[in-house]
């Protein structure tokens, strides 16, 4: 199937053509007709399947088809993070370039001028507003947003928003919106709390599920059993030939991100950190460097594990095993996008083995455990059935003897 066969408006097709898109992904092919038909929908699909365009394209189609004028907000998109809100707005700018649609991202962390721009867009009724829950509530509570004729409410990464504690904020926003509207929910997973939210806010929804909880087929997955004290040396070993053009390393804490970045920079590697400690403008600048291939290595917390559309990443390293097995899917979903190939390597310490076994259960396959390099020493034994991992054998130094913490 092609986008033309979905009978999208000519202005929308022109934007797709300019961006080089001809065929819809499965989630787009299934979702777009339902959204055009004004039915509520809950769609479940993993990262990298084209979810953003799946909800933007039919909205742009309807705005173009009906020649909707500015003056009232037509569509409100709620996303969990600033980065995702900016990304959605950027994709909207490309897809809607030849349409009449106007848009504005609304997120925290900006200056007074940014707030004023957001206020004007909400007062004047930009067609599409993309925002984070907290900042949207701030504006809505002031009473100037033109939402009386809102036609579409879209919740993107709904499961992540609930994980981040935004349920009450989402409901506060929804309670201020017109009851007669189309509600569209996109999520990467379908836990019970998402089903409850869907029941509360959707009306007779259509449900779509695409390849849930499975990594892309072309991701080569491997793992090392390593003590925490061995992890930095292991990263350096994997990058010894400096032949990975584009790499993201996910660590569990901001402190680890900073420490690892410093060590990589000492090795002369082109690495920068990204975490919630940085100002929004700094984070956007670093992401743009990475997307444009000016930056080789991005060291990050899970602030970007979901929702950031970065193509052609060669490798993802999980410096720490994520607490939620679903987060593993999203982390390694940064690579092997759009049918390309990629590698995902995970470091498993003695305490994270049970968590890693839950990941293997989720994806229904055993991930290959690679032998530690001799110069780094042995890692812990693998005993995933014991919570906290195997016995604390701290490995050997190059010259023999036990390694101490």
pLDDT, one tens digit per residue, over 335-344 is: 755 545 789 9
Q: Do domains 4-210 and 219-370 have the same CATH topology?
A: yes
pTM exceeding 0.95: no
Instruction: Return all residues near 98 (Cβ < 8 A) that are at least 6 apart.
Output: 11, 12, 14, 15, 18
Query: Among the listed ranges 41-55, 255-269, 293-307, 332-346, which one has the minimum average pLDDT value?
Result: 332-346
| pLDDT per position as a tens digit, 313-323 | 889 999 999 88
In this prediction, residues 246-263 reach a mean pLDDT of: 92
Kindly indicate whether the domain formed by 219-370 is annotated with CATH number 3.40.50.1970: no
Task: Give the CATH class of 4-210.
Answer: alpha beta
pLDDT of residue 247: 93
Please report which confidence band the pLDDT of residue 333 belongs to, taking 50, 70 and 90 as the band edges. confident
pLDDT at 1 over 60: yes
pLDDT at 28 over 70: yes
Query: Among the listed ranges 60-64, 74-78, 314-318, 387-391, which one has the minimum average pLDDT value?
Result: 387-391
Distance CA 253, CA 261 (A): 12
> Are 315 and 342 in contact, with CB atoms under 8 Å apart?
yes
pLDDT of residue 393: 35
- Assigned token pair, 347: 């470091």
- Tell me how far CA of residue 387 lies from CA of 354, 356, 364, 379, in angstroms: 5, 11, 20, 17
pLDDT at 384 over 90: no
pLDDT of residue 402: 34
Distance CA 153, CA 76 (A): 5
Helix/strand/coil for 137: helix
Query: Among the listed ranges 10-14, 165-169, 298-302, which one has the minimum average pLDDT value?
Result: 298-302
Query: Where do the structural domains in the chain lie, given as residue ranges?
Result: 4-210, 219-370
pLDDT of residue 212: 52
Please report which confidence band the pLDDT of residue 395 belongs to, taking 50, 70 and 90 as the band edges. very low
């Amino acid at each position: 199937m092609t986008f033309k066969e979905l009978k999208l408006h000519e202005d929308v097709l022109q934007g797709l053509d300019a961006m080089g898109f001809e065929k819809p992904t499965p989630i787009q092919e299934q979702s777009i007709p339902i959204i055009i038909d004004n039915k509520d929908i809950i769609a479940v699909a993993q990262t990298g399947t084209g979810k953003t365009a799946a909800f933007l394209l039919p909205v742009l189609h309807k705005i173009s088809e009906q020649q909707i004028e500015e003056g009232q907000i037509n569509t409100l998109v709620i996303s969990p993070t600033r980065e995702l809100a900016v990304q959605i707005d950027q994709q909207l700018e490309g897809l809607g370039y030849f349409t009449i649609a106007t848009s504005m991202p609304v997120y925290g962390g900006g200056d007074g001028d940014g707030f004023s721009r957001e206020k004007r867009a909400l007062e004047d009724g930009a067609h599409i507003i993309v925002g984070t829950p907290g900042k949207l509530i701030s504006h809505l509570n002031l009473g100037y947003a033109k939402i009386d004729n809102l036609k579409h409410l879209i919740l993107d990464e709904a499961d992540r928003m609930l994980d981040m504690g935004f349920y009450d904020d989402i409901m506060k926003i929804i309670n201020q919106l017109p009851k007669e509207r189309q509600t569209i929910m996109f999520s990467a997973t379908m836990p019970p709390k998402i089903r409850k939210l869907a029941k509360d806010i959707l009306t007779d929804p259509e449900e779509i599920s695409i390849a849930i909880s499975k990594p892309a087929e072309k991701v080569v997955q491997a793992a090392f059993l390593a003590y925490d004290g061995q992890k930095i040396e292991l990263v350096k070993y994997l990058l010894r030939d400096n032949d990975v053009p584009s790499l993201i390393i996910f660590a569990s804490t901001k402190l680890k991100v900073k420490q690892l970045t410093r060590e990589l920079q000492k090795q002369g590697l082109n690495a920068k950190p990204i975490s919630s400690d940085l100002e929004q403008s700094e984070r956007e600048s670093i992401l743009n460097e990475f997307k444009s291939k000016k930056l080789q290595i991005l060291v990050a917390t899970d602030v970007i594990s979901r929702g950031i559309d970065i193509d052609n990443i060669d490798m993802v390293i999980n410096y720490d095993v994520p607490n939620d097995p679903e987060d593993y899917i999203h982390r390694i979903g940064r690579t092997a996008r759009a049918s390309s190939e990629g590698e995902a390597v995970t470091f498993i310490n003695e305490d994270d083995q049970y968590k890693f076994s839950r990941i293997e259960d989720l994806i229904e396959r055993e991930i290959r455990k690679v032998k530690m390099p001799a110069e780094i020493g042995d890692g812990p034994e693998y005993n995933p059935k014991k919570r906290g991992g195997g016995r604390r054998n701290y490995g050997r130094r190059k010259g023999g003897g036990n390694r101490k913490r």
